[in-house]
Structure 1
Amino acid sequence: MLIALLAGDGIGPEVVAEAVRVLEAAGARDLTFEAAPVGGAAYKAEGHPLPPATLDLARRADAILFGAVGDPTCDSLERHLRPEQAILGLRKELALFANLRPAKLFPELADASALRPEVATRIDLVIVRELNGDVYFGEKGMRKTGAGRREGYDIMSYNEDEVARIARVGFETARARRGRLCSVDKANVLETSQLWRDVVIEVAAEYPDIALSHMYVDNAAMQLVRDPGQFDVIVTGNLFGDILSDQASMCVGSIGMLPSASLDANQKGLYEPIHGSAPDIAGQGKANPLATILSAAMMLRYSLGQADVADRIEAAVAKALARGARSADLGGAMTTAQMGQAVLAGL
């Protein structure tokens, strides 16, 4: 099975390297790795954030392990050449429409959460985020008003097929967990969200065993810090999912702890930590690799059919934390390589 390694920018290469070490040590079966540049690194080397050869590798691979993209030195480029366009391009070209972002607190990290320990310890949820629509992919641009003033615009839109497709992923995810699905929207003010809610209700008829609820996104943000234990699975759009999943990361201690999977209709996926490229600490060995290691475990479970190895890796991460492994974001002083070594010791 071919794994595309797209490490990208900033801390991406550092955390991906640790994930590969863990995959090899954990006994993942029949894996071969092939690397290619992406993001700002690809632009500087080849003049585009998603070069044809990189996209070809991504298409050929059985799964993609992704680091991060983002480089401040590229911020002045035209938008289609900026590093972030690489991940958007991969999602579009590979039809990666379903983003799964689990958020579960490791008990040892209760003190690292921004929430009180008795609240934080109840967090065990999955955010199912739609990836191919919304304002990220809608028509956008800059224009002048009638008065000659600059105006930016980004159009939010979803069609009913896009909503039904992601809703089914949400219902199936809830069916495999505790049977509760909360659909998050802003139907009180957005027509896009009204369609979203209507279609989710229609799809719910196919899943009579799942308890469906609805929540406005502003209330959902509040409830995530007030009572996160009430959530099992959250399904929501691209913009809202991006924001809520980052919020959830601080509820479990650090954005350096949350993995993610971006899947197509056949379970081929791109796996990445939800954090960014962190250029301020790149190359210093300060990055937390656990989110990337946990993303590799998700890769084994969802795309490669090796759930047994995924279980071993997740247990090793828990053991490392129980033994006191802490990177700077978790209040410790261990380097990226030392955190990776702690997971290897847990294996």
Structure 2
Amino acid sequence: MQAWQVHESGEPSEVMRLTETAPPTPGEGQVLLRVRAAGVNFPDALLCRGQYQVRPPLPFTPGVEICGETADGRRVIANPALPHGGFAEYAVADAAALLPAPDALDDAEAAALHIGYQTGWFGLHRRARLRAGETLLVHAAAGGVGSAAVQLGKAAGATVIGVVGGAGKAAVARELGCDTVVDRYAEDVVAAVRQATGGRGADVVYDPVGGDAYTQSAKTVAFEGRIVVVGFASGTVPSPALHHALVKNYSILGLHWGLYPAKQPELVQHCHAQLTELAARGAIRPLVSARVPLAEAAAAVQRVADGVTTGRAVVVPAPENGAVA
């Protein structure tokens, strides 16, 4: 089979190599899956750089999120068990963690559903307890993680403010349903959010960016508001001023979704049921901005690493037996 492998740490476009190799052999409790589609996530870039919290042995195949097919023909969503990731024709995954792919989504959309939307659901509902009528501020609202939070916020009845970088991403955020869009390249984010909220600020801030975005979050969060720290795509990990949180009376909430499958897997199943229902009624649909063949996976990961994509890029290996991607 064909698979992308990383033999040394570095930029994805430089260290990912497309090779011919034998299909992986499942370990105990694992299953072999034919990859129907593999979502490209920022952690894939971090894996290539050797900067992710998990460091698989070299060489490894990145690709942490797939829609796959079991030997008996079931279409499933899975997080491949590294080092045998999803940017390949076959991957392995833990059998107990497989989730049914929603019928309402095609393969590429299903591959883009799991990590981003589970992260959004846990961040907004489990951690921040977002309520209908509240104001939600989403940084990087046109990206893969941000676009999921925008859709989930609208589905929950929130007023959504999306912060983006550039006119093209602003247009995408409006199409996603943001009530207010702030272009950080052209506007003062803090002033724009205060104006949009009548000076009150956002009840919930969803921040997958860190750096300057977190500084803006602290300045725009409302009284008794909640800042959900999801990640640091900017590359800068902020140092929160705890005296500011005390004086302004807001909460800083960390979210590491990857802990839930191990510590509370029943919540992952519950979340997937909620997401499946939302997809069935059209309230959410992953924004797949690019569907690329396996040969272009490294370039797709590099674009995500460089922060120039909108929504989610998905790698779609050549379908077998007429399978629709």
What TM-score results when the alignment is normalised by the length of structure 2?
0.32
Please state which structure has a larger fraction of its residues in helix. Answer: 1
